[in-house]
Structure 1
């Protein structure tokens, strides 16, 4: 990665995580984020495409390919190397933050 990766919102984090297994189209990303969060995070279409646009400008995702389904173009997006690195950095940051609270909770229970 060229510079320090941008901070990710929760929506961006789960959007990038949805692409770990390979390219997905918009509806596939929405369903994958919903499933990964047990329905807690439901991306609206406008939110999704706004986030994809920002992530594409940051070079964290890129268009992979398009196909025509029922006469409509369906664009698939994939994670870039920078996107995968940013996701790993954010996952470690979240894990460290959680460990602080979990450690204090265990100490308080003892």
Structure 2
């Protein structure tokens, strides 16, 4: 109570973790090694409604931008026709796997 030293919370967490590890490995379980770059996550680290909405809008623009690029339009013409600026066009191209023409 009053006047008694309080236990260190960090030490109690470490002790509890060590007990859990001893119980896990003591029962015959083994640690599983996961290869670098492999995870159970399907999406990226950002999972917000806004970023999903923006991605959906970019996906709607992508076919038109790709069509313009494939037809031989310059980068400036393709951006004007699709109604996007250069940075957004680059992002759309990167996300959808096509290459934009270089700027002369």
> TM-score surpassing 0.5?
no
- TM-score when normalising by structure 2: 0.31
Q: Which has the higher contact order (CA 8 A, sep 6+)?
A: 1
- TM-score when normalising by structure 1: 0.30
